[in-house]
Structures are given as structure tokens and as C-alpha cells.
Structure 1
């Protein structure tokens, strides 16, 4: 189990590195989208390449960050029933979910998407739109994204079994602890924005008087 936990730690580091890198793509998408809109409105110039770049980047964010999202326990959960059970029972449910649902689905999509990407790469597939981009890089995102998600599921499985054996902390509790610093920052930003709005409101009221 000690060896498996080391593998789990390496997988988590990989997904964390990918997730942090992908986070910057959000800013790039905003810049590309805004630039494209401004050029189209001001100069009446449009480019299929720029439009497709936005779609490619959005796909990269969605697919490559899936494993990171799972690591941080920020994916959608429907646990109305499970949350009523003990933590140990919930962990057994987590293990069954990963083994019978998450891993099979990820591995199936990975297996089917590899030849899908390879065919596009060999043919150097181009967009059907005039001036569009090549297609194989965005198709590569599918096996890579689901591969990272499968690795995250494997890591979670190892940590869940380790938790039941008393070899490591609760992986869900660890994920919640990872979320807290970001929540604190968001709360601080919210309070700062509210304070500025309140100061602006008071300034307007004084001016009116």
C-alpha cells in the first residue's frame, strides 16, 4: 500500500500541474474572444480560425481539467442518500463507483478516441470551414483528458482503500481542505467589493445632501 500511495501522490501532482496550467487558458479564452469580437464589430472582419481557436481552448479547459476537478472533489455529486451514511460506508460507495462506473467509462472513451485521433493525425485533417484550423490537436484532447480523469480515479481508489486500512487520511476531507484557501480568497474579494460599493453609496448620499 505504501508503494501504491506513492503512485497516487505522483498522479495527484500531475493533475495539479495540469489543472494550474489549464487555469491560464481561461484568461486566454477571454482575451481571444474579446479581441475577436472587437475586430468583428469595429473593422467588420471575421476569422474562422479565431472562432475555432475559442472552441479548441474551451474544449481543452473542459477535458484537461477534469482530473484536477475530480481530485479537488468539485465535480457534481448526487449524494442525497450517501451523505446519511457513515464516512466508512461512503468510502465503500466511492470505491464501487470508481471501479464500476468511472474507470470503465473513462477507459472506454480513451480506447475509442485513440484511433479517432490517430486517423485525423495521419490524414492531417483540416477544418471544413474556410480558413479554419487543423483538427487533430483538438481530437488529441479527448484521450488525454479522459486519461487524466482515469488516473485521478485510480488515485482516488488507492487513497480510499488506504483510508479504510488506516494508511492515509480521508481523501474527501483532504479535497475539502484544498478548497478552503480558495473559498477564503473568494470571500475576501466579496467583502472588499461590498465595502467599495458601500463607500460609493455613502459618497453619493453625501453629495446629494
Structure 2
């Protein structure tokens, strides 16, 4: 289990990198949007490329940040129901959700979208709007984003099995992220106690 947990730390590091990178994409999108609006209103100058790059950046934030969101346990949950269940039961539910729904969906989306990326790259597909951008980079965000989400799903699956075996902390309590050592130091007793439930 130790080797697998080391593997999860590598995946978590990758997810943290992309999670922090997309913050800058939000800033870039905001700056481009503001500059585009000022240019249109003040100078009557605009470009479809500026509009499309905002869409590209917006897509990148959500697709590349999905794995980081899972790492931080910030995804949508039905807390009203989950709060009534024991940590072990919630962990089993997460395992089923990851294995039955998340990982197959990620695989399907990668398989489905990759030929579209290759086709757009080979054909040099460009937006039909005047001055629009090439399309394959934004198409590539789909398999890339789902690959990152799938990797993080694998990491979370390993961490949940480790918790059930008493070999790791409870990822539901820690936000799934053991990168913050201070947070980890405050959790062992609590997670160990939860293992018995």
C-alpha cells in the first residue's frame, strides 16, 4: 500500500500544479475580456479572436481544474444525506461512484474526443468566425481534462482503500489532499477513530 500511496502523492502534485495554474487563466481571461470591452467601446475596434480566447480559457479553467477540485473534495455532494452516514459507509459509496461512474466516464470521454482532436489538427480546422482561432487546442482540453480527472479519481480510490485498511488518513476529512502537512498533522487521531466506525 505504501507504494500506491506514493503514487497518489505524485498524482496529487500534478493536480495541485494544474489547480494553481488555472487561477492565472482566470486572471488572463478577465484581463482579455476587459481589454476587449474597452477597445470595442472606446475605439470601436474588436476581434473575434479575443472573444474566442476567452471561451478557450474558460473551458481550460473548468476542464483542467476538475482534478484539483476532486483532490480538495470541493465537488458537489448531497451533504444532507451523506452527513447521516458513517465515514466508512461514505467511503464505500465514494469507491462505488469512482469505479462505476467516474473512471468509465473519463475513459469514454477520452476515447470519444481524441479522434476529434486529431481530425481538427490534421485538417487545420479554424473557427468559422472572421479572425477566429484554430480549434484543435480547445478540443484537446477535453481529453486532457478528463485524463487529469481520471488520474485524480484513481488517486482518490487508492486513498479510500488505504483509509478502510487503516493505512491512511480519511480523505473525506482532509479534503483528499495530504500536501498540506499542517492539516495532516491535526487529523491522524480523528481519522484513526473513524476507521473503527
TM-score normalised according to structure 1 size: 0.83
Shift of 1:79: 3.5
* 2:26 counterpart residue number: 26
Work out the number of aligned pairs and report it: 179
Shift of 1:81: 2.1
Q: Write the distance in 1 (CA, Å) between the matches of 2:137 and 2:177.
A: 35
Q: Write the distance in 1 (CA, Å) between the matches of 2:72 and 2:108.
A: 23
Question: Does structure 1 residue 35 correspond to structure 2 residue 35?
Answer: yes
Q: Write the distance in 1 (CA, Å) between the matches of 2:176 and 2:22.
A: 21
* Gap regions ≥5 residues in structure 2: 181-197
* 2:15 counterpart residue number: 15
Which structure's residues are more often helix, by fraction? 1
Question: Does structure 1 residue 170 correspond to structure 2 residue 176?
Answer: no
* 2:114 counterpart residue number: 114
* Gap regions ≥5 residues in structure 1: 181-209
The runs of at least 4 aligned residues of structure 1 exceeding 6 Å deviation read: none
Q: Write the distance in 1 (CA, Å) between the matches of 2:137 and 2:163.
A: 39
Shift of 1:80: 2.5
Q: Write the distance in 1 (CA, Å) between the matches of 2:171 and 2:49.
A: 42
More moved, 52-61 vs 72-81: 72-81
Aligned ranges 1:84-103 → 2 under 5 Å: 84-103=84-103
Q: Write the distance in 2 (CA, Å) between the matches of 1:142 and 1:173.
A: 30
Q: Write the distance in 2 (CA, Å) between the matches of 1:83 and 1:99.
A: 22
Residues 156 and 176 in structure 2, CA contact (< 8 A), matched pair in contact too: no
Shift of 1:176: 7.4
SS of 1:172's equivalent in the other structure is: coil
Q: Write the distance in 1 (CA, Å) between the matches of 2:87 and 2:29.
A: 40
Shift of 1:177: 7.8
Q: Write the distance in 2 (CA, Å) between the matches of 1:82 and 1:49.
A: 45
SS of 1:81's equivalent in the other structure is: helix
Q: Kindly provide the CA deviation profile for residues 161-208 of structure 1, in whole angstroms up to 9, marking residues without a partner as x.
A: 000001110011111788x9xxxxxxxxxxxxxxxxxxxxxxxxxxxx
SS of 1:171's equivalent in the other structure is: coil
* 1:82 counterpart residue number: 82
* 2:130 counterpart residue number: 130
* 2:146 counterpart residue number: 146
Q: Write the distance in 1 (CA, Å) between the matches of 2:3 and 2:176.
A: 25
Residues 88 and 164 in structure 2, CA contact (< 8 A), matched pair in contact too: yes
* 1:62 counterpart residue number: 62
* 1:200 counterpart residue number: none
TM-score normalised according to structure 2 size: 0.88
